[in-house]
Structure 1
Amino acid sequence: MALSCGGKCVKFFLVVINLIFMLLGLGILIPGILMLADVDVINDEVLPLLQQLSFGALNVGDLAKNLSVTLIVFGAFVLIVSTLGCCGAFCQQKCCLIIYAIVVLVFFLAKLVVVILWIVMNDKIQSWMKTELLKQLQTNYQKDDLTTHEISTAWNYMFMSLSCCGVTAVTGTTNDFDSSAWINGGNNGGKEIPIFCCTGVTASNYASTTNAACTDTVTSGYHTKGCYDATYDALSSYSTAFIIVGVLTLLVEIVAFVGAIIIIKNGGEDGTGLSGAAKMV
C-alpha cells in the first residue's frame, strides 16, 4: 500500500511538473517572438553591418537573425515534450515515459554544456565584439547618408534606432570617428561626428537637418551612449529573462527525469506493467 501511495504521489507530482514545464516553454517562446518583432535590435538596415562581424565560420548577423526563430522553435518543442510527459504520467504509458525521460536527459545535458560555455567564453565574446565593431567603424564607415554606401547606411540606422554614437561613448571631438575612412577620406565636410548621432534626426529629415553644436563642436545634442553598450543593453533586456527561465528549466528537468524513472520502475516491479500499477493505486 505504501508503494502504491508513493507511486500515486509521484504521478501527481510529475503531472504538475510538466504543467510548469509548459509555462517555461512559453517563457522561451514569448521572448523569442518579442525579439523577432523588435526592429530596433535586428532589422534589414542594420543587418549588413552585423554580417561583417565574423566569429570563426559564423557571423553575428546570421546568428542574430536566426536566434529568435531558434527560440520560437525550441519553446514550441518544449511544449510538445511537456505534453508528452504529462499524458505519459497521467495515463501511465510506459512508452511515452521512456521517450520523455530520454528527451529530458538529452535536453538537460545539452543546456548544461551551453551554460558552461557561455560562462567561460562570455568575457572573451564581449571583448571580441567591441574590437570588431570598432574595426568595422574605422575601416568601413565612409558616408553620412542613407543611400551611398551599404555599411555606412547600416551604421547610420544603428545610430538612430539605438540612440547611440560610435562604438565607445562619444565625449567630445576626440572620438572613434577620428581614424575612420569618413574623416580620413575627406567625406566629413568639417564634421566631427555624423548627423545621425544627433538627437531628433530621422531617416526623413536628416538631409535638411543641421546642428553644429552636435556635429562640429560636439558640445550638445548628440547621443552620449556608445553603440556597443546600446546593443549590449538591448540584448541584455532579453538575456535576463532567458537566464531565469533557463535555470528554472534545468531544475524542473532534473525533477521530471527522476519522476519519470520512478514511475517506470514502479510499473515494472508490479509484474503487470503500468496498467496494472494504475489499478493498484
Structure 2
Amino acid sequence: MPAICTRCGWRGLGMISLFVISTCLALLGIISVIYGIMLMLNGGALRNPDISPVLNSITMGSLKPGVLISILPILLIVIGVITLLGAVLGLLITILLQRKVFLIICSILSFVVCLGTIVIIALFISGTQISKEQMVERLQDNFTDVSINSSNELSNAWNVMFLDLDCCGVNAVNGTTNDFDKTPWCTTKGDCQQTNAEIPKTCCVNVTENTYSAASDKCYSEVIKRTYKPKGCFEVIEVQISAFSSTILGVGIPILFLEILCGILAVVLCFKDDFLNPEGASFKEICRSFCNPEQKPSQGNEQELQEMAPLK
C-alpha cells in the first residue's frame, strides 16, 4: 500500500484527491467566467450583430456560425458557474459536509458539466467550419450596393465586414479581376456596372462608416496596391474563429477531464462506508498526517490502520 494510504487510509486519500481536484476546478470555473465576461464586453468584430447575417448565410447544415459566436460568452459563463458550484460543493464535502447525499449531488453536477462541455465543443467546432466556395457564392448573390444603410441586409453586412475586419472580398484582391465581378453590383446596377469602380469604397484603407463615401478613386477605381485592404475576409474570419476554438478547447478539455475524475471519485466515495464514519480522522488531521508522516493519527484513524494491517 502507498505511504500516503498507510498514514491516512483510503478515506484520507479520497478526501485529499477530491480537495485537490475541486480546487483546480474552482480555478478553471473562475477563468471560464472571467473570459466569458471579457468576450461579452469586447469580443472582437465577429461578434458585431451587423456582421452576423453574412456568417449565418454561410452555414454548414442547420448550424449558424454567427449565432454560435454571439452566444459563446454566455456558454462560457454558464459552464464556469456550474463548474464553480460543483467545485465549491466538493471542497465543502471534504472539509465539512461528509454526507452521501452531497457526494451524489457532486457527482451529478460533474456529469452534467461533462455533458454540457462536450456538447459546446462539438457544436462550436462543427458549426464554425466555413466553406470558402459557399462564402463566394453568398457574396456574388447578395452584394448589391456600397452602403451600410440600404434595404438589403446582407449587402449592408458585407460592407460592415469589410470595414470592421479590415478585409476585402472573400479571396484577397489582386487587381481589377476579383470576387466582385459576378455580383449584382457589377452585373446589374451599381458603380461597378457603370465602370466607375472595381471594388467597394468600404475596402479602402483608413476609412470608417462615416468616411468611406469619400475614399480615394486610386483605391476603388484604379485598385492601386496599399490603397485597399490586402487580406480576403475568409482568411481573417478563419484566424479569428481559430482563436475562439483554441479558447473553447483550452478551457473545456481541462474542465472535462477533471470533472470526469471528480464524478468518478464522488461515486467511489459514496460506496466507502468509512467515508461517513464519524470516528474517522477529520480532513485537518489527514492533511497533518500527509505533511508529517510521524504525526500520530486520531483514534478513529488508528483503528482504521489496525484493521488494514496484515494478520500475523
Instruction: Indicate the TM-score class for this superposition, using the shorter chain for normalisation.
Output: 0.7 to 0.9
Given that 1:142 and 1:152 are in contact with CA atoms closer than 8 Å, whether structure 2 keeps it comes out as: yes
Shift of 1:191: 1.3
Q: Deviations over 1:17-54 (max 9, x none)?
A: 11110111123222322222225111132123233334
Which residue of structure 1 lines up, in the alignment, with residue 157 of structure 2? 154
For the pair 1:95 / 2:101, whether they are aligned, the reply is yes
Gaps of 5+ in 1: none
For the pair 1:273 / 2:276, whether they are aligned, the reply is yes
1:190-201 equivalences under 5 Å are 190-201=196-207
Given that 1:89 and 1:97 are in contact with CA atoms closer than 8 Å, whether structure 2 keeps it comes out as: no
**CA 118–66 in structure 1, closer or farther in 2 if over 3 Å, else same:** closer
Rounded to whole Å, the distance in 2 between the matches of 1:250 and 1:63 is 20
1:51-200 equivalences under 5 Å are 51-91=56-96, 92-109=98-115, 111-112=117-118, 121=126, 126=129, 128-148=130-150, 149-189=152-192, 190-200=196-206
For the pair 1:208 / 2:214, whether they are aligned, the reply is yes
Q: Deviations over 1:149-205 (max 9, x none)?
A: 322221111111111111122222221111111111230242111111111010111
**CA 10–173 in structure 1, closer or farther in 2 if over 3 Å, else same:** same
Rounded to whole Å, the distance in 2 between the matches of 1:45 and 1:140 is 15
Q: Deviations over 1:113-163 (max 9, x none)?
A: 6657877x58xx63x532332222110111112222322221111111111
Rounded to whole Å, the distance in 2 between the matches of 1:113 and 1:186 is 45
Which residue of structure 1 lines up, in the alignment, with residue 40 of structure 2? 36
Which residue identity lines up with residue 33 of structure 2 in the other structure?
L
Identical pairs, percent? 32
Moved more, 1-10 or 42-51: 1-10
Given that 1:199 and 1:223 are in contact with CA atoms closer than 8 Å, whether structure 2 keeps it comes out as: yes
Which residue identity lines up with residue 210 of structure 2 in the other structure?
S
TM-score by length of structure 1 reads: 0.85
Given that 1:19 and 1:82 are in contact with CA atoms closer than 8 Å, whether structure 2 keeps it comes out as: yes
Aligned residues: 273
Rounded to whole Å, the distance in 2 between the matches of 1:192 and 1:62 is 32
* Cα-Cα RMSD: 2.6
Q: Deviations over 1:221-254 (max 9, x none)?
A: 2111111111121222232232122222222123
Which residue of structure 2 lines up, in the alignment, with residue 14 of structure 1? 18
Q: Secondary structure at the match of 1:145?
A: coil
Rounded to whole Å, the distance in 2 between the matches of 1:162 and 1:97 is 49
2:239 to 197, 213, 233: 233
Moved more, 201-210 or 32-41: 32-41
Rounded to whole Å, the distance in 2 between the matches of 1:108 and 1:65 is 22
Gaps of 5+ in 2: 283-299, 302-312
TM-score by length of structure 2 reads: 0.77
